[in-house]
Amino acid sequence: MNLVVDIGNTRIKQAVFEKGKLLYQHQFEASQFLEKTKSVFEVYPNITDAIISSVKPLQNKEVELLSLFCKVHVLSASSKLPFFNEYATPQSLGVDRIALAAAAHCLYPQKEVLVIDAGTCITFDFVDGHGAYLGGSISPGMMMRYRAMHQQTAKLPLLEPLETKGLIGNTTETSMHFGVINGIVCEIDGIIDRYQAQYGYLTVILTGGDVHFFEKRLKNSIFANSNFLLEGLNFLLEHNKN
C-alpha cells in the first residue's frame, strides 16, 4: 500500500493507493500536515512506502515525520523515470510536471499525450508516442490573472473566480470574469489546435484545481481527470521502489 503526498503552492494532497487503485484522497492546509499524516496511518496501517513531491522547498521535518511510519522517496530530478526526459534543463523541471508526464506515459503508452494542468499556473506538457517527454509551456493561472489586474491597475477590484457564461461584459466585474475565463479557454483550445496540426491525433488530459471552470467550455475533445498528478506520483513511487 502506497501513500502519495503532493505539496502544492497553496495546499497539500494525500492519497492512498493499493495495487494501482486509488482508495483515499484528501487535501488540507500545510499547518495540518502532522495531524493528517498521523490520521492516515491510523486508518491505513498497511502503508509501506510513500512518495513526497513538493513544488516549493521541502522541510526536513515533513520527510522525517513520514520516515517514522514507512519508507519515503522524495521526488526529484534524480529520481528514476518511466519515460525518456528530453527537457533541455532536466534539473529545472518541476516535480509536478514530472508526475504528469509519468501518468501520461503509463496510462496512455505509445500515444501522443498533451497534459494541461489548470492550477496556480497553467502548464502544458507533451509526451510523444515513443515515450519521450519533450516539454511544453507555462502561463499564468486563473487566480494569478485576477490578482495581476488588481495589483497592476489603480481601480480594478480583486475578484474571486466566478463560473459565468457569456462574451460581452456589461459591468467592470463581468468584463473581468469574461476576460479571464474566455481568455484561458481560447488559450487552451488554441494550443491544442497547434499541437494537433503538428502531431495529428492527440490524447488531451485536463487536470488541476480549476478544471471544473473549463472542461465543458472547450471545443476540443478532452479527458478531465482531477487525480492525474496523484496517479503519476504513484507510478513514480512504484518505479523507484527497487
- Show binding-site residues for substrate: 87, 94-97, 172
Annotated binding-site positions for ATP: 6-13, 120
Annotated binding-site positions for K(+): 117
Residue 241 CA to residue 224 CA, distance in Å, equals 29
Count the residues in the chain: 242
| Distance in angstroms between the alpha carbons of the first and the last residue of the chain | 15
Residue 215: which residues within 8 A CB-CB, separation 6 or more? 206, 222, 224
| Residues pairing with 26 in the sheet | 14
Annotated binding-site positions: 6-13, 87, 94-97, 117, 120, 172
Note if 96 is an active site residue. Answer: yes
Which of 67, 80, 55 lies closest to 3 in space, CA to CA? 67
| Cell numbers describing residue 155 | 481601480
SS3 8: coil
Residue 61: which residues within 8 A CB-CB, separation 6 or more? none
Residue 34 CA to residue 36 CA, distance in Å, equals 6
Query: What backbone phi and psi angles, to 5 degrees, belong to 34?
Result: -60, -50
Give the CA dihedral 188, 149, 30, 70, nearest 10 degrees: 20
- Of 96, 125, 128, 210, the catalytic one is 96
Residue 108: which residues within 8 A CB-CB, separation 6 or more? 127, 203
| Cell numbers describing residue 54 | 513538493
- Show which residues are catalytic: 96
